[in-house]
Structure 1
Amino acid sequence: MDKKNIKQKILHFPLTKVIIGLIVCGLIIGLGQTLIQKGLNFTNIDKDLKTLIGGIFVAVLAIISYTYLFKFYEKREITEFSKKGIIKNLLIGLVLGVILQSLTILVIYLKGGYSVISINPILFIIPPLTSGITAAIIEETLFRGIIFRIPEEKLGSYISLLISAFIFGALHISNPNSSLSAGIGLAIQAGLLLGAAYIYTRNLWFPIAIHFAWNFTQSAIFGANVSGNTISKTLITSKIEGAEWFTGGQFGPEGSIQATFFCLIATIILLVLSHKEGKIIKPYWRE
Protein backbone atom coordinates (compact mmCIF):
# COMPACT_ATOMS: atom_id res chain seq x y z
CA MET A 1 0.00 0.00 0.00
CA ASP A 2 1.52 3.36 -1.02
CA LYS A 3 1.89 6.33 1.31
CA LYS A 4 -0.74 8.33 -0.56
CA ASN A 5 -3.43 5.71 0.11
CA ILE A 6 -2.42 5.49 3.76
CA LYS A 7 -2.70 9.27 4.14
CA GLN A 8 -6.12 9.26 2.46
CA LYS A 9 -7.37 6.49 4.76
CA ILE A 10 -6.16 8.38 7.83
CA LEU A 11 -7.62 11.66 6.57
CA HIS A 12 -11.02 10.08 5.94
CA PHE A 13 -11.08 7.86 9.02
CA PRO A 14 -14.27 8.75 10.99
CA LEU A 15 -12.45 9.83 14.16
CA THR A 16 -10.11 12.04 12.11
CA LYS A 17 -13.09 13.66 10.38
CA VAL A 18 -14.84 14.27 13.70
CA ILE A 19 -11.76 15.88 15.25
CA ILE A 20 -11.06 18.07 12.21
CA GLY A 21 -14.72 19.06 11.98
CA LEU A 22 -14.95 20.07 15.63
CA ILE A 23 -11.65 21.95 15.57
CA VAL A 24 -12.30 23.88 12.35
CA CYS A 25 -15.93 24.74 13.11
CA GLY A 26 -15.12 25.47 16.76
CA LEU A 27 -12.30 27.85 15.86
CA ILE A 28 -14.36 29.70 13.26
CA ILE A 29 -17.32 30.02 15.64
CA GLY A 30 -15.07 31.21 18.48
CA LEU A 31 -13.25 33.72 16.30
CA GLY A 32 -16.50 34.99 14.83
CA GLN A 33 -18.01 35.45 18.28
CA THR A 34 -15.00 37.47 19.44
CA LEU A 35 -15.02 39.71 16.36
CA ILE A 36 -18.76 40.40 16.38
CA GLN A 37 -18.71 41.23 20.09
CA LYS A 38 -15.87 43.69 19.61
CA GLY A 39 -17.65 45.24 16.64
CA LEU A 40 -20.95 45.60 18.49
CA ASN A 41 -19.19 47.24 21.44
CA PHE A 42 -18.62 50.29 19.22
CA THR A 43 -22.36 50.76 18.76
CA ASN A 44 -25.02 52.23 21.05
CA ILE A 45 -27.43 49.36 20.49
CA ASP A 46 -29.31 47.99 23.51
CA LYS A 47 -27.38 45.25 25.35
CA ASP A 48 -30.01 42.54 24.77
CA LEU A 49 -30.25 43.43 21.07
CA LYS A 50 -26.45 43.28 20.78
CA THR A 51 -26.54 39.79 22.25
CA LEU A 52 -29.28 38.75 19.81
CA ILE A 53 -27.40 40.09 16.77
CA GLY A 54 -24.19 38.44 17.96
CA GLY A 55 -25.98 35.16 18.62
CA ILE A 56 -27.61 35.06 15.19
CA PHE A 57 -24.29 35.95 13.52
CA VAL A 58 -22.47 33.11 15.28
CA ALA A 59 -25.28 30.64 14.56
CA VAL A 60 -25.20 31.48 10.85
CA LEU A 61 -21.41 31.22 10.93
CA ALA A 62 -21.73 27.69 12.36
CA ILE A 63 -23.92 26.64 9.42
CA ILE A 64 -21.61 28.27 6.86
CA SER A 65 -18.41 26.82 8.33
CA TYR A 66 -19.94 23.32 8.51
CA THR A 67 -21.33 23.52 4.97
CA TYR A 68 -18.13 24.68 3.28
CA LEU A 69 -15.83 22.46 5.33
CA PHE A 70 -17.66 19.21 4.58
CA LYS A 71 -18.49 20.18 1.00
CA PHE A 72 -14.74 20.42 0.43
CA TYR A 73 -13.73 17.59 2.79
CA GLU A 74 -16.29 14.97 1.71
CA LYS A 75 -16.74 16.14 -1.89
CA ARG A 76 -20.57 16.14 -1.76
CA GLU A 77 -23.61 18.35 -1.52
CA ILE A 78 -24.53 19.20 2.06
CA THR A 79 -28.10 17.90 2.18
CA GLU A 80 -28.23 18.28 5.99
CA PHE A 81 -29.00 21.97 5.43
CA SER A 82 -31.04 21.52 2.26
CA LYS A 83 -33.84 24.02 1.61
CA LYS A 84 -36.06 21.16 0.42
CA GLY A 85 -38.76 20.56 3.01
CA ILE A 86 -37.25 23.15 5.36
CA ILE A 87 -40.58 24.79 6.26
CA LYS A 88 -42.22 21.45 7.02
CA ASN A 89 -39.31 20.24 9.15
CA LEU A 90 -39.08 23.51 11.06
CA LEU A 91 -42.82 23.69 11.75
CA ILE A 92 -43.16 20.07 12.87
CA GLY A 93 -40.02 20.39 14.98
CA LEU A 94 -41.29 23.57 16.65
CA VAL A 95 -44.66 22.00 17.42
CA LEU A 96 -43.07 18.83 18.79
CA GLY A 97 -40.65 20.77 21.01
CA VAL A 98 -43.43 22.97 22.41
CA ILE A 99 -45.69 19.97 23.09
CA LEU A 100 -42.98 17.97 24.88
CA GLN A 101 -42.00 20.91 27.08
CA SER A 102 -45.62 21.84 27.79
CA LEU A 103 -46.42 18.27 28.88
CA THR A 104 -43.40 18.39 31.20
CA ILE A 105 -44.62 21.62 32.83
CA LEU A 106 -48.22 20.31 32.91
CA VAL A 107 -47.16 17.49 35.25
CA ILE A 108 -45.57 20.04 37.60
CA TYR A 109 -48.71 22.20 37.44
CA LEU A 110 -51.08 19.30 38.13
CA LYS A 111 -49.05 18.42 41.23
CA GLY A 112 -49.38 22.02 42.46
CA GLY A 113 -45.77 22.94 41.83
CA TYR A 114 -46.11 25.61 39.14
CA SER A 115 -47.50 29.12 39.53
CA VAL A 116 -47.21 32.37 37.56
CA ILE A 117 -45.88 35.35 39.51
CA SER A 118 -45.95 37.98 36.76
CA ILE A 119 -46.18 38.52 33.01
CA ASN A 120 -43.38 40.74 31.76
CA PRO A 121 -42.91 43.08 28.76
CA ILE A 122 -42.70 41.35 25.37
CA LEU A 123 -39.09 42.47 24.89
CA PHE A 124 -38.13 40.17 27.77
CA ILE A 125 -38.21 37.31 25.28
CA ILE A 126 -35.00 38.56 23.60
CA PRO A 127 -32.47 36.89 25.98
CA PRO A 128 -34.15 33.44 25.85
CA LEU A 129 -34.67 33.88 22.09
CA THR A 130 -30.94 34.52 21.69
CA SER A 131 -29.99 31.60 23.88
CA GLY A 132 -32.45 29.30 22.12
CA ILE A 133 -31.23 30.15 18.61
CA THR A 134 -27.51 29.91 19.31
CA ALA A 135 -27.71 26.73 21.42
CA ALA A 136 -29.99 24.94 18.96
CA ILE A 137 -28.03 25.72 15.80
CA ILE A 138 -24.50 25.40 17.17
CA GLU A 139 -25.11 22.28 19.26
CA GLU A 140 -27.04 20.47 16.53
CA THR A 141 -24.43 21.35 13.93
CA LEU A 142 -21.63 20.00 16.10
CA PHE A 143 -23.38 17.08 17.81
CA ARG A 144 -25.77 15.72 15.23
CA GLY A 145 -23.91 17.02 12.18
CA ILE A 146 -20.45 15.87 13.22
CA ILE A 147 -20.35 13.71 16.36
CA PHE A 148 -23.36 11.60 15.34
CA ARG A 149 -23.42 11.68 11.52
CA ILE A 150 -19.81 10.79 10.78
CA PRO A 151 -19.48 7.70 13.04
CA GLU A 152 -22.92 6.56 11.85
CA GLU A 153 -21.44 5.90 8.39
CA LYS A 154 -19.34 3.05 9.82
CA LEU A 155 -20.89 2.12 13.17
CA GLY A 156 -24.51 2.35 12.10
CA SER A 157 -27.37 4.45 13.44
CA TYR A 158 -27.97 2.76 16.79
CA ILE A 159 -24.38 2.57 18.02
CA SER A 160 -23.61 6.12 16.90
CA LEU A 161 -26.83 7.30 18.56
CA LEU A 162 -25.79 5.81 21.90
CA ILE A 163 -22.26 7.22 21.68
CA SER A 164 -23.36 10.75 20.76
CA ALA A 165 -26.11 10.71 23.43
CA PHE A 166 -23.60 9.62 26.07
CA ILE A 167 -21.21 12.43 25.11
CA PHE A 168 -24.03 15.00 25.10
CA GLY A 169 -25.25 13.97 28.53
CA ALA A 170 -21.74 13.74 30.00
CA LEU A 171 -20.84 17.27 28.87
CA HIS A 172 -23.93 18.68 30.59
CA ILE A 173 -22.99 17.19 33.95
CA SER A 174 -20.60 20.13 34.39
CA ASN A 175 -23.48 22.62 34.02
CA PRO A 176 -24.60 24.66 37.05
CA ASN A 177 -26.87 22.72 39.45
CA SER A 178 -26.36 19.55 37.42
CA SER A 179 -26.01 15.96 38.60
CA LEU A 180 -25.49 12.45 37.25
CA SER A 181 -29.25 11.91 36.98
CA ALA A 182 -29.65 15.21 35.11
CA GLY A 183 -26.89 14.18 32.70
CA ILE A 184 -28.56 10.82 32.06
CA GLY A 185 -31.88 12.59 31.54
CA LEU A 186 -30.38 14.94 28.95
CA ALA A 187 -28.64 12.06 27.20
CA ILE A 188 -32.10 10.57 26.63
CA GLN A 189 -34.12 13.76 26.12
CA ALA A 190 -31.73 15.52 23.76
CA GLY A 191 -29.06 12.98 22.86
CA LEU A 192 -31.44 10.24 21.73
CA LEU A 193 -34.41 12.34 20.64
CA LEU A 194 -32.48 14.82 18.50
CA GLY A 195 -30.35 12.07 17.00
CA ALA A 196 -33.52 10.16 16.11
CA ALA A 197 -34.95 13.35 14.60
CA TYR A 198 -31.91 13.60 12.34
CA ILE A 199 -32.16 9.94 11.33
CA TYR A 200 -35.82 10.33 10.37
CA THR A 201 -35.43 13.46 8.22
CA ARG A 202 -31.72 13.23 7.31
CA ASN A 203 -31.40 16.98 7.80
CA LEU A 204 -30.48 19.22 10.72
CA TRP A 205 -33.45 21.62 10.52
CA PHE A 206 -35.78 19.17 12.30
CA PRO A 207 -33.59 18.62 15.40
CA ILE A 208 -32.67 22.32 15.43
CA ALA A 209 -36.36 23.25 15.57
CA ILE A 210 -37.11 20.74 18.36
CA HIS A 211 -34.08 21.91 20.34
CA PHE A 212 -34.99 25.59 19.96
CA ALA A 213 -38.68 25.12 20.79
CA TRP A 214 -37.85 23.03 23.87
CA ASN A 215 -35.39 25.59 25.30
CA PHE A 216 -37.37 28.69 24.31
CA THR A 217 -40.69 27.40 25.67
CA GLN A 218 -39.01 26.27 28.87
CA SER A 219 -37.35 29.62 29.57
CA ALA A 220 -39.25 32.40 27.79
CA ILE A 221 -42.78 31.06 28.19
CA PHE A 222 -42.66 29.05 31.41
CA GLY A 223 -39.87 31.01 33.13
CA ALA A 224 -37.85 27.93 34.12
CA ASN A 225 -34.12 27.27 34.24
CA VAL A 226 -32.57 25.63 31.17
CA SER A 227 -29.94 22.94 31.82
CA GLY A 228 -29.08 24.56 35.14
CA ASN A 229 -28.81 28.08 33.73
CA THR A 230 -31.08 30.95 34.72
CA ILE A 231 -32.09 33.32 31.90
CA SER A 232 -31.94 37.00 32.96
CA LYS A 233 -35.30 37.94 31.46
CA THR A 234 -38.34 35.83 30.54
CA LEU A 235 -41.85 36.62 29.35
CA ILE A 236 -43.31 34.91 32.42
CA THR A 237 -41.82 34.96 35.89
CA SER A 238 -42.84 31.73 37.57
CA LYS A 239 -42.40 29.83 40.79
CA ILE A 240 -41.61 26.13 40.57
CA GLU A 241 -41.52 24.10 43.75
CA GLY A 242 -41.85 20.51 44.84
CA ALA A 243 -39.93 17.27 44.82
CA GLU A 244 -36.91 17.30 42.53
CA TRP A 245 -37.99 14.18 40.66
CA PHE A 246 -40.90 16.01 38.99
CA THR A 247 -39.62 19.62 39.01
CA GLY A 248 -35.96 19.03 38.16
CA GLY A 249 -34.93 21.29 41.04
CA GLN A 250 -32.50 24.10 40.25
CA PHE A 251 -31.40 22.33 37.08
CA GLY A 252 -34.82 22.99 35.56
CA PRO A 253 -37.66 20.80 34.25
CA GLU A 254 -35.17 18.89 32.09
CA GLY A 255 -34.08 17.18 35.29
CA SER A 256 -37.57 15.74 35.85
CA ILE A 257 -38.64 12.16 35.27
CA GLN A 258 -41.58 13.13 33.06
CA ALA A 259 -39.34 15.11 30.67
CA THR A 260 -37.25 11.98 30.13
CA PHE A 261 -40.37 9.82 29.72
CA PHE A 262 -42.09 12.07 27.16
CA CYS A 263 -38.91 12.53 25.11
CA LEU A 264 -38.19 8.80 25.19
CA ILE A 265 -41.66 8.07 23.80
CA ALA A 266 -41.06 10.56 20.96
CA THR A 267 -37.63 8.99 20.31
CA ILE A 268 -39.10 5.48 20.05
CA ILE A 269 -41.79 6.68 17.63
CA LEU A 270 -39.21 8.38 15.38
CA LEU A 271 -36.94 5.32 15.40
CA VAL A 272 -39.85 2.98 14.58
CA LEU A 273 -40.85 5.22 11.67
CA SER A 274 -37.23 5.41 10.51
CA HIS A 275 -36.95 1.63 10.62
CA LYS A 276 -40.15 1.17 8.62
CA GLU A 277 -38.95 3.65 5.99
CA GLY A 278 -35.49 2.06 5.72
CA LYS A 279 -33.62 5.04 7.11
CA ILE A 280 -31.60 3.13 9.70
CA ILE A 281 -27.96 2.64 8.67
CA LYS A 282 -26.43 -0.74 9.53
CA PRO A 283 -22.87 -1.02 10.89
CA TYR A 284 -20.30 -1.80 8.19
CA TRP A 285 -19.74 -5.35 9.43
CA ARG A 286 -23.41 -6.21 8.80
CA GLU A 287 -23.68 -4.78 5.31
Structure 2
Amino acid sequence: METKTVGQKILYFPLTKIIIGLIVCIGTLVILKLGIEKLLGLFNLEKTTITLLSNTLSIFIVLFSYTTLYQYYEKRSITELSSKNLAKNLSLGIALGVGLQSLTIFVIYLYGGFSIISVNSFIPLIPSLIGFTAVAVFEEIVFRGIIFRITEEKLGSYIAMVISGLLFGFAHLFNPNSSITSALSIAIEAGLLFGAAYIYTRNLWFPIAMHFAWNFTQSNIFGAATSGSIIGKSLFTTKIEGSVLLTGGDFGPEASIQVIVFCVITTVILMKLNHKQNKVIKPYWSK
Protein backbone atom coordinates (compact mmCIF):
# COMPACT_ATOMS: atom_id res chain seq x y z
CA MET A 1 0.00 0.00 0.00
CA GLU A 2 1.31 3.42 -0.98
CA THR A 3 2.09 5.63 2.03
CA LYS A 4 0.75 9.16 1.79
CA THR A 5 2.96 12.09 2.66
CA VAL A 6 1.84 14.68 5.23
CA GLY A 7 1.03 17.06 2.39
CA GLN A 8 -1.15 14.48 0.65
CA LYS A 9 -2.95 13.67 3.90
CA ILE A 10 -3.75 17.35 4.39
CA LEU A 11 -4.77 17.82 0.75
CA TYR A 12 -7.18 14.88 0.82
CA PHE A 13 -8.48 15.46 4.35
CA PRO A 14 -12.31 15.80 4.17
CA LEU A 15 -12.40 19.34 5.60
CA THR A 16 -9.74 20.42 3.10
CA LYS A 17 -11.75 18.94 0.23
CA ILE A 18 -14.85 20.81 1.40
CA ILE A 19 -13.04 24.14 1.78
CA ILE A 20 -11.35 23.84 -1.63
CA GLY A 21 -14.68 22.87 -3.20
CA LEU A 22 -16.48 25.86 -1.70
CA ILE A 23 -13.73 28.28 -2.72
CA VAL A 24 -13.55 26.99 -6.29
CA CYS A 25 -17.29 26.67 -6.94
CA ILE A 26 -18.44 29.83 -5.17
CA GLY A 27 -15.42 31.87 -6.25
CA THR A 28 -15.74 30.84 -9.91
CA LEU A 29 -19.45 31.63 -9.90
CA VAL A 30 -19.08 35.05 -8.29
CA ILE A 31 -16.22 36.16 -10.52
CA LEU A 32 -17.69 34.90 -13.80
CA LYS A 33 -21.21 36.07 -13.00
CA LEU A 34 -20.00 39.59 -12.27
CA GLY A 35 -18.01 39.57 -15.50
CA ILE A 36 -20.95 38.26 -17.52
CA GLU A 37 -23.32 40.88 -16.12
CA LYS A 38 -20.86 43.69 -16.87
CA LEU A 39 -20.36 42.37 -20.39
CA LEU A 40 -24.09 42.07 -21.03
CA GLY A 41 -24.56 45.58 -19.66
CA LEU A 42 -22.52 46.92 -22.57
CA PHE A 43 -25.29 45.89 -24.97
CA ASN A 44 -27.91 48.10 -23.29
CA LEU A 45 -30.11 45.13 -22.53
CA GLU A 46 -32.99 45.36 -20.08
CA LYS A 47 -32.19 44.39 -16.49
CA THR A 48 -34.64 41.46 -16.67
CA THR A 49 -32.89 40.10 -19.78
CA ILE A 50 -29.46 40.45 -18.19
CA THR A 51 -30.64 38.63 -15.06
CA LEU A 52 -32.23 35.88 -17.15
CA LEU A 53 -29.07 35.31 -19.20
CA SER A 54 -26.83 35.59 -16.14
CA ASN A 55 -28.84 33.01 -14.19
CA THR A 56 -28.89 30.64 -17.16
CA LEU A 57 -25.11 30.81 -17.53
CA SER A 58 -24.68 30.48 -13.75
CA ILE A 59 -26.24 27.02 -13.88
CA PHE A 60 -23.59 25.81 -16.33
CA ILE A 61 -20.77 27.58 -14.47
CA VAL A 62 -21.57 25.85 -11.17
CA LEU A 63 -22.01 22.43 -12.78
CA PHE A 64 -18.79 22.80 -14.80
CA SER A 65 -16.66 24.03 -11.88
CA TYR A 66 -17.88 21.26 -9.55
CA THR A 67 -17.51 18.51 -12.17
CA THR A 68 -14.07 19.65 -13.32
CA LEU A 69 -12.68 20.14 -9.81
CA TYR A 70 -13.72 16.81 -8.32
CA GLN A 71 -13.06 14.84 -11.48
CA TYR A 72 -9.37 15.72 -11.17
CA TYR A 73 -9.18 16.19 -7.39
CA GLU A 74 -10.80 12.86 -6.47
CA LYS A 75 -9.78 11.09 -9.69
CA ARG A 76 -13.24 9.66 -10.40
CA SER A 77 -16.31 9.99 -12.59
CA ILE A 78 -18.89 12.44 -11.24
CA THR A 79 -21.69 9.90 -10.96
CA GLU A 80 -23.79 12.18 -8.73
CA LEU A 81 -24.51 14.31 -11.82
CA SER A 82 -24.98 11.36 -14.16
CA SER A 83 -27.78 11.60 -16.71
CA LYS A 84 -28.76 7.99 -15.97
CA ASN A 85 -32.40 7.92 -14.83
CA LEU A 86 -32.44 11.70 -15.29
CA ALA A 87 -36.11 11.89 -16.31
CA LYS A 88 -37.12 9.72 -13.35
CA ASN A 89 -35.08 11.75 -10.85
CA LEU A 90 -36.35 15.08 -12.16
CA SER A 91 -40.00 14.03 -12.35
CA LEU A 92 -39.95 12.45 -8.88
CA GLY A 93 -38.23 15.50 -7.40
CA ILE A 94 -40.66 17.93 -9.02
CA ALA A 95 -43.65 15.83 -7.93
CA LEU A 96 -42.47 15.77 -4.31
CA GLY A 97 -41.61 19.48 -4.27
CA VAL A 98 -44.97 20.50 -5.73
CA GLY A 99 -46.84 17.98 -3.56
CA LEU A 100 -45.29 19.07 -0.26
CA GLN A 101 -45.91 22.75 -0.97
CA SER A 102 -49.48 22.08 -2.11
CA LEU A 103 -50.22 20.14 1.07
CA THR A 104 -48.78 22.98 3.13
CA ILE A 105 -50.97 25.58 1.42
CA PHE A 106 -53.98 23.23 1.60
CA VAL A 107 -53.74 23.19 5.41
CA ILE A 108 -53.77 27.01 5.44
CA TYR A 109 -56.81 26.89 3.13
CA LEU A 110 -58.64 24.47 5.43
CA TYR A 111 -58.27 26.98 8.25
CA GLY A 112 -59.60 29.80 6.06
CA GLY A 113 -56.27 31.56 5.59
CA PHE A 114 -55.72 31.10 1.84
CA SER A 115 -57.75 32.60 -0.99
CA ILE A 116 -57.15 33.17 -4.71
CA ILE A 117 -57.90 36.68 -5.93
CA SER A 118 -56.99 36.27 -9.60
CA VAL A 119 -55.27 33.98 -12.11
CA ASN A 120 -52.39 35.45 -14.11
CA SER A 121 -50.34 34.60 -17.21
CA PHE A 122 -47.50 32.09 -16.87
CA ILE A 123 -45.18 33.91 -19.32
CA PRO A 124 -43.91 36.53 -16.81
CA LEU A 125 -42.86 33.68 -14.52
CA ILE A 126 -40.16 32.35 -16.88
CA PRO A 127 -37.36 34.51 -15.39
CA SER A 128 -38.23 33.17 -11.93
CA LEU A 129 -38.29 29.63 -13.30
CA ILE A 130 -34.70 30.05 -14.50
CA GLY A 131 -33.73 31.92 -11.34
CA PHE A 132 -35.01 29.22 -9.00
CA THR A 133 -33.32 26.56 -11.14
CA ALA A 134 -30.02 28.41 -10.67
CA VAL A 135 -30.62 28.67 -6.92
CA ALA A 136 -31.46 24.97 -6.63
CA VAL A 137 -28.40 23.88 -8.63
CA PHE A 138 -26.05 26.14 -6.67
CA GLU A 139 -27.37 25.29 -3.20
CA GLU A 140 -27.55 21.54 -3.84
CA ILE A 141 -24.02 21.50 -5.28
CA VAL A 142 -22.76 23.33 -2.19
CA PHE A 143 -24.77 21.66 0.59
CA ARG A 144 -25.32 18.16 -0.78
CA GLY A 145 -22.63 17.75 -3.45
CA ILE A 146 -19.78 19.19 -1.40
CA ILE A 147 -20.64 19.42 2.33
CA PHE A 148 -22.95 16.40 2.71
CA ARG A 149 -21.20 14.02 0.31
CA ILE A 150 -17.70 14.54 1.67
CA THR A 151 -18.79 14.60 5.32
CA GLU A 152 -20.75 11.38 4.80
CA GLU A 153 -17.63 9.55 3.59
CA LYS A 154 -16.12 9.72 7.10
CA LEU A 155 -18.92 10.51 9.54
CA GLY A 156 -21.73 8.53 7.95
CA SER A 157 -25.11 9.44 6.52
CA TYR A 158 -26.92 10.58 9.67
CA ILE A 159 -24.22 12.86 11.04
CA ALA A 160 -23.68 14.30 7.56
CA MET A 161 -27.43 14.99 7.28
CA VAL A 162 -27.41 16.86 10.60
CA ILE A 163 -24.29 18.90 9.81
CA SER A 164 -25.29 19.85 6.26
CA GLY A 165 -28.89 20.46 7.39
CA LEU A 166 -27.85 22.84 10.17
CA LEU A 167 -25.49 24.71 7.84
CA PHE A 168 -28.27 24.93 5.25
CA GLY A 169 -30.64 26.36 7.85
CA PHE A 170 -27.98 28.74 9.19
CA ALA A 171 -27.39 30.09 5.67
CA HIS A 172 -31.05 31.18 5.61
CA LEU A 173 -30.64 33.08 8.86
CA PHE A 174 -29.40 36.04 6.82
CA ASN A 175 -32.61 36.20 4.74
CA PRO A 176 -35.23 38.92 5.29
CA ASN A 177 -37.71 38.26 8.14
CA SER A 178 -35.67 35.30 9.35
CA SER A 179 -35.18 34.08 12.90
CA ILE A 180 -33.60 31.21 14.78
CA THR A 181 -36.94 29.41 14.58
CA SER A 182 -37.25 29.81 10.80
CA ALA A 183 -33.61 28.75 10.28
CA LEU A 184 -34.17 25.61 12.36
CA SER A 185 -37.35 24.93 10.39
CA ILE A 186 -35.39 25.06 7.13
CA ALA A 187 -32.69 22.83 8.62
CA ILE A 188 -35.20 20.18 9.73
CA GLU A 189 -37.66 20.19 6.85
CA ALA A 190 -35.39 20.88 3.87
CA GLY A 191 -31.85 20.16 5.06
CA LEU A 192 -32.68 16.66 6.26
CA LEU A 193 -35.11 15.95 3.42
CA PHE A 194 -32.72 16.89 0.64
CA GLY A 195 -29.97 14.85 2.30
CA ALA A 196 -32.25 11.79 2.44
CA ALA A 197 -33.23 12.40 -1.20
CA TYR A 198 -29.59 12.42 -2.27
CA ILE A 199 -28.92 9.14 -0.43
CA TYR A 200 -31.97 7.57 -2.10
CA THR A 201 -30.67 8.13 -5.65
CA ARG A 202 -27.00 8.98 -5.02
CA ASN A 203 -27.71 11.60 -7.66
CA LEU A 204 -27.97 15.37 -7.18
CA TRP A 205 -30.68 15.82 -9.82
CA PHE A 206 -33.32 14.43 -7.46
CA PRO A 207 -32.81 17.00 -4.63
CA ILE A 208 -32.15 19.73 -7.22
CA ALA A 209 -35.54 19.09 -8.83
CA MET A 210 -37.29 18.93 -5.46
CA HIS A 211 -35.57 22.13 -4.29
CA PHE A 212 -36.55 23.97 -7.47
CA ALA A 213 -40.17 22.77 -7.40
CA TRP A 214 -40.46 23.62 -3.71
CA ASN A 215 -39.39 27.25 -4.22
CA PHE A 216 -41.14 27.85 -7.53
CA THR A 217 -44.46 26.40 -6.38
CA GLN A 218 -44.37 28.36 -3.15
CA SER A 219 -43.53 31.74 -4.69
CA ASN A 220 -44.58 31.68 -8.31
CA ILE A 221 -47.65 29.46 -8.15
CA PHE A 222 -49.18 30.24 -4.75
CA GLY A 223 -47.72 33.72 -4.35
CA ALA A 224 -46.30 33.07 -0.87
CA ALA A 225 -43.07 34.42 0.59
CA THR A 226 -40.10 32.10 0.13
CA SER A 227 -37.48 32.14 2.89
CA GLY A 228 -38.60 35.62 3.89
CA SER A 229 -38.66 37.17 0.42
CA ILE A 230 -41.63 38.11 -1.76
CA ILE A 231 -40.78 37.32 -5.39
CA GLY A 232 -43.58 39.43 -6.86
CA LYS A 233 -45.14 37.71 -9.87
CA SER A 234 -47.13 34.50 -9.46
CA LEU A 235 -49.65 32.42 -11.34
CA PHE A 236 -52.22 33.11 -8.64
CA THR A 237 -52.62 36.44 -6.90
CA THR A 238 -53.42 35.24 -3.40
CA LYS A 239 -54.15 36.37 0.11
CA ILE A 240 -52.52 34.41 2.94
CA GLU A 241 -53.44 35.24 6.51
CA GLY A 242 -53.98 33.61 9.87
CA SER A 243 -51.91 32.05 12.62
CA VAL A 244 -48.13 32.36 12.26
CA LEU A 245 -47.97 28.71 13.28
CA LEU A 246 -49.82 27.77 10.07
CA THR A 247 -48.67 30.51 7.67
CA GLY A 248 -45.07 30.99 8.83
CA GLY A 249 -45.68 34.73 9.14
CA ASP A 250 -43.46 37.07 7.15
CA PHE A 251 -40.91 34.31 6.50
CA GLY A 252 -43.49 32.29 4.57
CA PRO A 253 -44.95 28.75 4.78
CA GLU A 254 -41.48 27.24 5.20
CA ALA A 255 -41.72 28.30 8.85
CA SER A 256 -45.14 26.67 9.36
CA ILE A 257 -45.73 23.66 11.59
CA GLN A 258 -47.44 21.57 8.91
CA VAL A 259 -44.56 21.76 6.43
CA ILE A 260 -42.20 20.46 9.10
CA VAL A 261 -44.55 17.55 9.77
CA PHE A 262 -44.98 16.71 6.07
CA CYS A 263 -41.25 16.93 5.35
CA VAL A 264 -40.21 14.91 8.39
CA ILE A 265 -42.65 12.15 7.37
CA THR A 266 -41.21 12.17 3.83
CA THR A 267 -37.66 12.10 5.22
CA VAL A 268 -38.47 9.11 7.46
CA ILE A 269 -40.01 7.23 4.52
CA LEU A 270 -36.96 7.91 2.33
CA MET A 271 -34.57 6.84 5.09
CA LYS A 272 -36.50 3.61 5.65
CA LEU A 273 -36.15 2.91 1.92
CA ASN A 274 -32.47 3.84 2.10
CA HIS A 275 -31.91 1.35 4.93
CA LYS A 276 -33.85 -1.34 3.12
CA GLN A 277 -31.66 -0.86 0.04
CA ASN A 278 -28.43 -0.64 2.11
CA LYS A 279 -27.70 2.90 0.95
CA VAL A 280 -26.99 4.36 4.40
CA ILE A 281 -23.29 4.81 5.15
CA LYS A 282 -21.99 4.13 8.67
CA PRO A 283 -19.39 6.41 10.31
CA TYR A 284 -15.80 5.25 9.88
CA TRP A 285 -15.52 4.05 13.49
CA SER A 286 -18.46 1.64 12.99
CA LYS A 287 -17.20 -0.01 9.82
- When the two structures are superposed, what TM-score results if normalisation uses the length of structure 1? 0.96
Structure 2 unaligned residues grouped into runs of 5+: none
Residues 183/154 of structure 1: CA separation in 2 closer, same or farther (3 Å cut): same
Of all paired residues, the percent bearing the same amino acid is 56
Distance (whole Å) between structure 2 residues aligned to residue 9 and residue 203 of structure 1: 27
Say which SS state the counterpart of residue 232 (structure 1) adopts. coil
Instruction: Give the corresponding residue for 1:155.
Output: 155
Code of the aligned partner of 2:271: L
* 2:113 aligned partner: 113
Counterpart mapping for 1:65-84 below 5 A: 65-84=65-84
Tell me, in whole angstroms, the C-alpha distance in 1 between the residues paired with 2:217 and 2:255: 15
Partner of 2:164: 164
Change (3 A) 1:82 1:3: closer
Deviation per residue, 1:112-151 (Å, 9 max, x gap): 1111222223222134213311110000001000010001
SS in 2 for 1:281: coil
Amino acid at match of 1:99: G
**For residue 92 of structure 1, what is the aligned residue in structure 2?**
92
Whole-Å separation in 2 of the counterparts to 1:127 and 1:272: 37
Aligned to 1:146: 146
Indicate if the aligned counterparts of 1:193 and 1:266 stay in contact, CA closer than 8 A: yes
Task: Name the residue aligned to 1:265.
Answer: 265
Between 1:146-155 and 1:41-50, the stretch displaced more is 41-50
Alignment correspondent of 1:130 = 130
- Pair 248,263 (structure 1): closer, same or farther in 2 beyond 3 Å: same
CA separation in 2, counterparts of 1:273 and 1:227? 29
SS in 1 for 2:226: coil
8 A contact 2:178–2:228 mirrored in 1: yes
Write the distance in 2 (CA, Å) between the matches of 1:124 and 1:236. Answer: 12
Instruction: Give 2:200's aligned residue.
Output: 200
C-alpha separation in 2, matches of 1:262 and 1:286: 31
Query: Once the 2 structures are TM-superposed, how far is the Cα of residue 46 of structure 1 from its aligned partner?
Result: 4.1
How far did 1:181 drift?
Answer: 1.3
What is the Cα deviation at residue 262 of structure 1?
Answer: 0.6
- TM-superposition CA deviations, 1:187-217 (whole Å, max 9, x none): 0121000000001100100000000000000
Query: Which stretch has the larger CA shift, 166-175 or 99-108?
Result: 166-175
How far apart are residue 44 of structure 1 and its match? 4.7
Residues 223, 232 of structure 2: 8 Å contact kept: no
Give the C-alpha shift of residue 226 in structure 1.
Answer: 0.6
CA drift at 1:36 = 1.6
Larger mean CA deviation between 33-42 and 76-85 belongs to: 33-42
Q: What do the CA deviations read for 1:142-193 (whole angstroms, capped 9, x no partner)?
A: 1000010001000000111111111111121221111111111100121000
Describe the SS at the equivalent of 2:5: helix
Aligned position for 1:102: 102
Cα distance in structure 1, aligned partners of 2:95 and 2:45:
32
Change (3 A) 1:70 1:241: same
How many residues matched?
286
Give per-residue Cα distances to partners, 1:242-287, cap 9 Å, x unaligned: 0100001110110100111111111111111001000001111111
Indicate the residue corresponding to 1:57 in structure 2: 57
The alignment yields a C-alpha RMSD, in angstroms, of: 1.5
SS at match of 2:184: helix
Unaligned runs of 5+ in 1: none
Check conservation: 1:128, 1:234, Cα contact below 8 A. Answer: no
**Distance in 1 separating the partners of 2:31 and 2:4:** 33
Contact kept in structure 1, 2:222 and 2:237, CA below 8 Å = yes
AA in 2 matched with 1:58: S
Q: Does 1:279 align with 2:286?
A: no
